[in-house]
Amino acid sequence: MILLSIKNMVCDRCISSVEKIFFKLKVDFKFISLGQYEITRLNKKRFLKLELLLIEEGFELTKSNDEIICSKIKSHLIELLNSKKSEKINISKHLTEKLNYTYNYLSKVFSNNEKTTIEKYFLNLKIEKIKELLSYKELSIKEISFNLNYYSVSHLSNHFKRVTGLSPSIFRKKHFERKTLNQIG
């Protein structure tokens, strides 16, 4: 078995897409974590086919140790964001414990490879999560704020507006207006 690290995996649908590729190529695999798999050794031709199919689906194999570390950081941040923990979590402490590197090292590697900081990346993930939750219309903005560990609704709203240019309520309204127009037309 060899360890395979795959970039751009962010959700359960990504896991499903990658596993379909493995099944299609009849590759034995073991899921380890988001973006991390153990697979049986492949000959060069099958490995290239695997790499091509992954690229077609929007994924990419990581090649350097720094890319692997960045991929693991992203996976842990996504898992952290999707966990339903209501307590505040210190990101630097969390990543240090999970990855067994100092936060300074992780931060430097991430910034050099991703051209953004871990904190900014995490905040952008939160914005995307807010957009997703707003588009479902299942939770109020107050509930979203609580679930994503914002201090208050106004804290979430200010952050969201600074990044998107829209308040969460306007974003939700515009999303459903577009959805209604698409259903009509």
Q: Is there a single domain that holds both residue 25 and residue 99?
A: no
Band the pLDDT of 183: cuts 50, 70, 90. Answer: low
Q: Is there a single domain that holds both residue 97 and residue 175?
A: yes
Q: What's the confidence (pLDDT) of residue 151?
A: 87
What integer is the mean pLDDT of 111-125?
A: 94
Which residues lie closer than 8 Å to 130 by C-beta, 6 or more apart? 144, 148, 156, 160, 168
Q: What's the confidence (pLDDT) of residue 153?
A: 94
Q: Is there a single domain that holds both residue 130 and residue 170?
A: yes
Domain boundary among 63, 82, 100: 63
Between residues 86 and 176, which one has the greater pLDDT?
176
Mean per-residue pLDDT of the chain:
88
Q: What's the confidence (pLDDT) of residue 136?
A: 87
Q: What's the confidence (pLDDT) of residue 184?
A: 62
Q: Report the predicted TM-score, pTM, of the whole model to 2 decimal places.
A: 0.71
pLDDT in tens, 61-73: 887 888 889 988 9
In angstroms, what CA-CA distances link 114 with 46, 58, 66, 71, 120?
A: 30, 17, 10, 10, 11
Q: Is there a single domain that holds both residue 80 and residue 55?
A: no
Q: Is there a single domain that holds both residue 165 and residue 74?
A: yes
Residues of the domain holding 85: 65-185
Q: What's the confidence (pLDDT) of residue 60?
A: 87
Q: What's the confidence (pLDDT) of residue 54?
A: 92
Q: Structural domain tally of the chain?
A: 2
Q: Are 110 and 99 in contact (CB under 8 A)?
A: no
Q: Are 171 and 131 in contact (CB under 8 A)?
A: yes
What integer is the mean pLDDT of 4-16?
A: 85
- pLDDT > 70: percent of the chain: 94
Is the pLDDT at 25 greater than 60, yes or no?
A: yes
